[in-house]
Amino acid sequence: MTIKETEIKDCFIIKPNVFEDERGYFMESFNASVFSKKTGIETTFLQDNQSFSSYGVIRGLHAQEGEFAQAKLVRVLQGEVLDVVIDARKDSTSYGKKVEIKLNADNKTQLFVPRGCLHGFAVLSQTATFFYKCDNYYDRASEIGVKFDDPFLDIDWQISENNQIISEKDMKLPLFKSL
C-alpha cells in the first residue's frame, strides 16, 4: 500500500497493491496497522456507506461537526468521480485548502478524509458506485455543509452547468465564509 500526503494536513491518497492474473485481481483495501505506521493516525471505522449515482450528480460539500465529526476512507467501486476535500478546521495549517482527485474503479485509489474537512464528489462516468468507511456514526443534527459552487472554493466539477444534478438540500447550503 502506497500512502501519499496531500496539501491538506492528515488527508492522504492511498494506492493499494493490486495483484492481477487471469482470474481477476486481489487487493487489500485497508490495513489499520500499515495505515497507522505510515500516517501516525489511529482509526477505527464504525460505519460503511455506499451510494449509486448517475452522470452529473454532485454530492456535497458535507461534514459532521462536534462529537459526531467523521473521518472517511472513500473509494469508487464502479465508474469514476471527481472527489473534493476542503479543510474547514479553523485551527489547521491547511485551512481553506482543497484536494481534488479522480477516483475510479480502474485505479482503485482511495482518499482518507480527516475529521473537520468538507467532502463531496461529482460523477464523471455514466454511473458510479461510491463506497466509504466512517470512524463515527451519522448524526443528522451534526451535519454541516457548504454550497458546491462557492466562488471562494473555485471548484471545477468537470460537468457543464446544464448537466449538473444537485439535491435541493445541497443547493441551499451556505458559503464557506459563513462556517
SS (H, E, C) 14-59: EECCEEEECCEEEECCCCHHHHHHHHCCCCCCCEEEEEEEECCEEE
Question: Could you tell me if 74 and 51 are in contact, meaning their C-beta atoms sit under 8 angstroms apart?
Answer: no
- Per the listing, cell 470512524 goes with 135
- Mean pLDDT value across the chain: 97
Question: Could you tell me if 82 and 158 are in contact, meaning their C-beta atoms sit under 8 angstroms apart?
Answer: yes
pLDDT value for 179: 87
Q: What is the pTM of this model?
A: 0.95
pLDDT value for 130: 98
Catalytic site positions: 62, 132
Tens digit of pLDDT for each residue in 103-122?
999 999 999 999 999 999 99
The C-alpha atoms of residue 146 and residue 61 are separated, in whole angstroms, by 5
The C-alpha atoms of residue 129 and residue 76 are separated, in whole angstroms, by 6
Q: What is the CATH number of domain 44-178?
A: 2.60.120.10
Question: Could you tell me if 45 and 135 are in contact, meaning their C-beta atoms sit under 8 angstroms apart?
Answer: yes
Tens digit of pLDDT for each residue in 22-80?
999 999 999 999 999 999 999 999 999 999 999 999 999 999 999 999 999 999 999 99
